[in-house]
Structure 1
Amino acid sequence: MKKNIAIIMGGFSSEFEISLKSGQVVFDTLDREAYNVYRIHILKHKWVFVNETNEEFPIDKNDFSVKVNETKILFDCVFNAIHGSPGEDGFMQGYLELLKIPHTSCNMYQAALTFNKRDCLSVLKPYGIKTAASYFVNLGDAIDETAIVEKVGLPCFVKANKAGSSYGISKVYKKEDLQQALEVAFAEDDEVIIESYLDGTEVSVGVISYKGEVTVLPITEIVSDNDFFDYKAKYLGQSQEITPARISPELSEKVTSTAKRIYEILKLKGFSRSEFIFKDGEPHLLEVNTVPGLTAASILPQQAKEAGISMKDLFGNAIESALKG
């Protein structure tokens, strides 16, 4: 009997439109011979099942079910394609775990931890994972611009602590521009992380659970046409994403083992994509994404393709892994 699969997409953050695209790709790709597939839009003002003719049916949040023409539909598994809150920060994971519904992403604690850049880096540092020098600011804190520059130097990056897709991020060259960059970041989150600029090759490393094994995918080198890998570089084609990366076997081995180690230290499941910059021949971690982009142009599917894994297999494996528990 075919399993009912809910693909959740949308979310409450600036990333909701990107998530809708990722979710639609999953919907279009999943094997209809194996699954009954349902698009579920999780938005601030509504949770709805959207059918093939774009009719909307409200989700019953008591048991995450939907009634269509008097027939109640329950789901055997949820494919999580929500970037940002509430799909990448632990809220949906906790909700689904309470309802005992399997899902394709990592568990609640791991999602909350990895979504918080500051806390994730703090947990990993004692394990010897190298990172940029950083300075933390909460909304309402007194801003000591001199202390910030002394800690991280210039140029530096000012980032919203809990946001993705390069929303709320600025590269700052002068101390007097810090305040404006902080305002941009605080528009996305009430916590900000300020990091030193690392001048080196940037790479992205996908790690997935594939057929019961932790699998590191081919590495992608990121060459932005812009000042850094910003929103336009990520989504509007203003970058080159080169897979496999043009790095030496030695650097490849270092970053592959580091990405796998991070996945295992954090006890992740499902998909992850970690971003690194090489400094002095060593990979320095920028962040870990647990619900990465899933369109054909996104980095993780590009890496899977290079590894000989089709998108149908990539998505189907995620569901089968979740169903096995």
Structure 2
Amino acid sequence: MILPKTIQPAEICEALNRDGYVVVENVIPTNQIQDFRTRIEDRITLEKAHPVDPGESMVTGTQADEVDFTLWQTRDEEEAVLRRRIRHRQAEEFDTPWPVSANDVCINFIHVPTSFDNGRSRRVVNVINKDTQLAELAEHPLILQAMEIELGRDLILLDASINQVGAQTNTPGGWHIDSPLTQITEPLPNLTLSIQTAWMLDDFRADNGATHVATGSNHTLQKPPPGRAPLDNEIVLAGPAGSVAIWLSQTWHRHGANIADDQRTGFIVQYGRSWVKPFVDMRSPIDASQAARLSPRMRYMMGCNANAPTRG
């Protein structure tokens, strides 16, 4: 369902719980869109030029080599960096291996590609830490009030990232639901654990990789079929730049194929219940000067004073 920006938070929740998704059009003005887009392009350019690569680490076992990155269509050099990052992380954690196979471990514990679709698409993680101005969208009153209704006032952020689907990538993403539901056996709980929002910083269209959802799939209590095959109840979350698409964690979704000559950039903010493990640790990297530019509510949602304390 497409709703105007004058909609009330409770009406957003009603549509979400009925259909599993909603699009609210034209929430932010054109001048703000351009500012956010410029900031994001600068960040993408910086991270392309200076990728995070910790080098080789001496750890036992080969779990990092077992992770399957096929779904993301990563280049060999990107995969090599990811495996080094996974080994480095294991070394930091006292050389502790996962108790399950690499492909069964929760995705929240694995470094995922920042370059995919054979280098044409990009992801920037922990983006609020890198540009605190983007917190403005994560705290947008209309959306945050709707999230509070669904997840409780003590909700936290599970993810805040940029997802840019490059021009002519041509291949859609695979159907999935969001962690932690991926780790739960069917039937899935009839409870929303997290909600995804995608701020459209470009126009989202059927031909440029807009998000697809299977309407009503939130009621199945099942996981989607594997792969990329079209579904009968599949719809495209299209909208003009400045709009926001919202869907429940249990709603089947994927990004579409970009067969156009322009990219599709979205700012992804995932909200979760306070006891769900985040996709990233948003407290790191963050320093006192960055924290001072964020509201107390945003700091809490990013994990400050929202984790188990050191006791004893």
- TM-score by length of structure 2 reads 0.30
> Larger Cα Rg: Structure 1 or Structure 2?
1
Which structure features the higher share of strand residues? Answer: 1
- TM-score by length of structure 1 reads 0.29
Higher relative contact order (CA 8 A, sep 6+): 2
